[in-house]
């Protein structure tokens, strides 16, 4: 299944602040893609579906969307998680006008 990108609703400065928080929480290593996704969601100030802040739900999403594991790896290497936050699968926003 292809991951869809939602409309970006945040300014780059906000993404940068959230990125810094994810890096601070995970410190030197996120440990796993499950924990990284859960951390990205839990530091999103309610902009992402909070159910994926729970490891069991993050794991289920990663099992359903295995390509997300690679996206998380690349995001960690780049230390920016904007693309992850903009995935419609975890966003609480729906783009009704984009269809």
Task: Name the residue ranges covered by the structural domains of the chain.
Answer: 12-85
Give residue-wise pLDDT tens across range 65-85: 999 999 999 999 999 999 999
- 3-class secondary-structure state, position 48: strand
Give residue-wise pLDDT tens across range 39-55: 999 999 888 999 999 99
Average pLDDT value for residue range 13-37: 92
52: which 2 tokens? 């994926």
State the DSSP code for 36. H
Beta-carbon neighbour count of residue 79 at 10 Å?
Answer: 10
Instruction: Please tell me the predicted confidence (pLDDT) of residue 27.
Output: 84
């Amino acid at each position: 299944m292809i991951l869809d990108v939602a409309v970006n609703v945040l300014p780059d400065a906000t993404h940068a602040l959230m990125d810094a928080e994810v890096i601070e929480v995970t410190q030197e290593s996120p440990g796993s893609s499950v924990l990284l996704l859960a951390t990205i969601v839990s530091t999103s100030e309610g902009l992402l579906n909070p159910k994926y802040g729970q490891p069991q739900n993050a794991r289920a999403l990663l099992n359903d969307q295995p390509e997300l594991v690679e996206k998380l790896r690349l995001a960690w290497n780049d230390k920016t998680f904007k693309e992850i936050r903009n995935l419609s699968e975890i966003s609480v926003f729906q783009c009704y006008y984009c269809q």
